[in-house]
Structure 1
C-alpha cells in the first residue's frame, strides 16, 4: 500500500510543481494564474498538452520551446522534481518512519497530511519568489492559511497533531481575529492609515536593470525605508501598533473577563467540554488551535518588526514574512512557528558565515530561511520538543 501511495504522491507532486511554476512566474508580475493558458515566455505560443507533461516534457524537448527553440529555464524542471520529492518525503517521514506521534494511519489523518503538504508547496513557492524578487506572494500565504483553518476545524480530532489550546486561549484568539477584522475595516474606510504609505515609490521596492550574466529584463530589489527616504520609520511603525491595538484590546478583555467573572470562565469551559457539546467541541477546538497558531506565527515576526524598527530607526523585516509564518501556524499550530522563529536566524547566520569564508556577496532574503526552518521543525518536531522539555525541565502535555 505504501508503494502505491508513494507513486501517487510523486505524480501528484510533479503536477502541483507544474502549477507552482505558473504561480512563481506570474504572481510577482501581476499576471493571472488562470488566463491565458501556459505559453512560451519568448514567442508567446500556447504550450500544447503533450508539451506540458511535468518532468517528461522538459527532458524530451531538452529544455527548449518546440515552436521557437528558445531555452526554457531548468528551474521549471527543478521545481517540479522538488515538489514531487517533498510530498513523497513528507509521506515517508510521517507514515513510514513515524517521525510525528499522534497521526495514526493515513486513512485516519489524510486531511492533516494534505494540509502539511500544501504548506510545504506554499513555502517552496514563496521561497522561490522571494529569492528572485525579494517579495513574498501574499496570495499563497492566504491560501495556505485558509487550508489550515478549514482542516483544523474538520480533521478527525484523534488524528490531528495540532497543539490544542485551552478554551480561554481559544476565545482570546477569536477575539483577536475579530479585532484584526475591525482594524482592516477601519483601514479600508480611511480611519486608520497604513504605515510607510509615503515610502511606497521611494523605498519599498526599487526596480533596476539586472547586471547578472545571462539575465535580461528587470528585477525587483527590496529596500528598507529609512529617514533618508523622507519618512521617520519610528513614527510610521506606530501606525502598525495602532492597527494591532483592537486585536490586543479584545484578547485582553476576554482574558480579564474569564479571570474575574467566574460565570464567563465556566461558560467557556463548558463550550469546550466534549462531554457536554459532543463533536462540536472537538471541531471548535481544532479551529481555535489553528487560529491561535496563525496569530502566534504572525505575531513573532510582527513583534520583531515593530521592536527592530523602534530600536534601530530603520524598517525591520517585512510584512510578507509576517504572513508567511502566520500561514505556518495556521497549518501546524503555535509550536512550530515558535520554534521556526528561533531556528531561522541560525540558518541565516550559517549562510552568512559561508559567504564570508567564500568571499561571495550573494545575499538572500529572510523568507527562504523561514521556509527551510519551518520544514525542518515540522519533520523533527517531536525530538526537538522532547529535547527542549528535558533541557528546561518541562513536563510533557497530557
Structure 2
C-alpha cells in the first residue's frame, strides 16, 4: 500500500471517528434522561430549535459557531468538541494498531461503549443498562462470529472464553463490592460497574477483566487520594468508578499483549 493511500485511509478513519463521537454525544446527553437517541433530531436544549446539518458537522461546526447556538446564542459545552476529537483519535489509534484486521472495527464498538459510559458516569453516577447489557450481548455475539477476538479459531471455544471473561470480571467486582459494603457499612459501588466490567470481559477475556479491575483500582485510588489531599473531596465522598474501569480496558486494548509478555518474563526470570 502506498504512503498516499495509507494516509487517505487514516484520514477517513479519523473522520469516521469524529462522526461516531457526534453520535456518542447524543447518547451521553439523552440516555440518562430516558430519551430516544434517534428522535427527535438534534436540537438546542435551550431554545429547542432544530440544529441544521451545516451546524452539526463534527469538529468544524463548534469552531465555526464559536461554541454558541446559532439561534439563541446559548453556550455549547466544549465537551461536545472534546468527545468528537477523543473518539476520532481513539478510533485512529485502534486502526493503526490493528489495521487489516476485523479487530479494529470490533474494538471501535467497545471503545464507543467505554466513552459513553465514562461521561455518563462522570455526570450522573450511573451506567445505563443499554451500555452494560448491550456490551455483554455484543461481546458474546462478536466472539461467536469472529473467534480471533478471543485469540482462537473455533467459534464454540471463543464463545466459552467470552462467557468466562464476562463471568470472572463481573463476579470478581461483585465480590469486591460486597466486601466493601460489609467493611464500610454502605454501598461501595453500583451494580452498573459490575455489569460494565462483565461486558468488557465478554469482549476482551478474563485476563483483561482482572487487568481492568487492578488498573482501575490503582488509578482510582490515586485520583481519590489526590482529591482528598487537595480538599476537593472528603473521605467517603462519592466518586464514579466506571471511568477508571474504561481506562483499564483501553490500556489493555493497546498494551495488553505487552503486559502479558512482561508479566510472564517477570515470573520466569
1:8 paired to 2:40: no
Task: For 2:17 and 2:138, locate their aligned partners in 1 and report how far apart those are by CA, in whole Å.
Answer: 17
Give 1:89 shift.
Answer: 1.2
CA contact (8 A) 2:149 2:203 kept: no
1:161, distance to aligned residue in structure 2 (A): 4.3
Q: Name the residue aligned to 2:179.
A: 307
In 1, the alpha carbon distance for the partners of 2:85 and 2:253 equals 21
Equivalent residue number for residue 116 of structure 1: 107
> What is the DSSP-based 3-state SS (H/G/I as helix, E as strand, rest coil) of the residue aligned with 1:380?
helix
- Tell me the distance in 1 between the aligned counterparts of 2:168 and 2:93: 27
1:293–1:335 contact (8 Å) kept in structure 2: yes
Task: Call closer, same or farther: CA 1:13–1:70 in 2, change over 3 Å.
Answer: same
- Flag the 1:331–1:154 CA change in 2: closer, same or farther, 3 A: same
1:162 corresponds to 2:37: no
Partner of 1:88: 92
Q: Residue 241 of structure 2 is aligned with which of 366, 386, 393?
A: 366
3-state SS in 1 of match to 2:268: coil
2:154 alignment counterpart = 282
Shift of 1:92: 2.0
Q: Where does residue 66 of structure 1 map in the other structure?
A: 70
Distance (Å, rounded) in 2 between the aligned partners of 1:306 and 1:70? 45
Contact 2:140-2:159 within 8 A present in 1 as well = yes
Tell me what 2:167 maps to. 295
Identify the residue that residue 141 of structure 2 maps to in structure 1: 150
Structure number with larger C-alpha Rg: 1
- 1:158-212 CA deviation, whole Å, 9 max, x = no partner? xx14155xxxxxxxxxxxxxxxxxxxxxxxxxxxxxxxxxxxxxxxxxxxxxxxx
Aligned to 1:321: 193
1:238-257 alignment to 2 at 5 Å? Answer: none
2:189 and 2:94 mapped to 1: Cα distance?
29
Other-structure match for 2:30: 26
* Pair 1:340 & 2:212 matched: yes
Q: How many residues align?
A: 262
The CA distance in 1 between the partners of 2:209 and 2:11, in whole Å, is 31
Take 2:38 and 2:258, find their aligned partners in 1: how far apart are those partners?
42
Residues 353 and 308 of structure 1: is their aligned pair in 2 closer, same or farther, counting only changes over 3 Å? closer
- CA drift of 1:283 comes to 1.3
Aligned to 2:60: 56
Structure 1 residue 356 displacement after superposition? 4.2
Distance in 2 separating the partners of 1:387 and 1:148: 27
Can you give the 5+ residue segments of structure 2 that lack an aligned partner in the other structure?
Answer: none
Per the TM alignment, residue 148 of structure 1 is displaced from its structure 2 partner at its CA by: 1.6
1:318-353 C-alpha deviation (Å, 9 max, x unpaired): 101011111111111111111111111110122133
* Structure showing greater relative contact order (alpha-carbon pairs closer than 8 Å, 6 or more residues apart): 1
SS in 1 for 2:130: helix
Is contact 1:293-1:326 (8 Å) kept?
yes
Q: Shift of residue 357 of structure 1?
A: 4.5
Q: 1:379 aligns with which of 251, 254, 257?
A: 254
How far apart in 2 are the matches of 1:367 and 1:338? 15
In structure 2, how many angstroms separate the alpha carbons of the residues matched to 1:153 and 1:341? 25
Q: Could you report, residue by residue, the CA deviation over 1:217-261 in whole angstroms, capped at 9, with x for unpaired residues?
A: xxxxxxxxxxxxxxxxxxxxxxxxxxxxxxxxxxxxxxxxxxxxx
Residue range with higher mean Cα deviation, 300-309 or 65-74? 300-309
CA distance in 2, matches of 1:303, 1:328: 17
Decide whether the 8 Å contact of 2:143 with 2:149 is kept in 1. no
Shift of 1:124: 1.0
Q: Is the 8 A contact 1:130 1:368 kept in 2?
A: yes
Determine the C-alpha separation between the residues in 2 that align with 1:114 and 1:30: 28
Give 3-state SS (helix, strand or coil) of 1:392's partner: helix
Give structure 1 stretches of 5+ with no counterpart: 96-105, 165-280
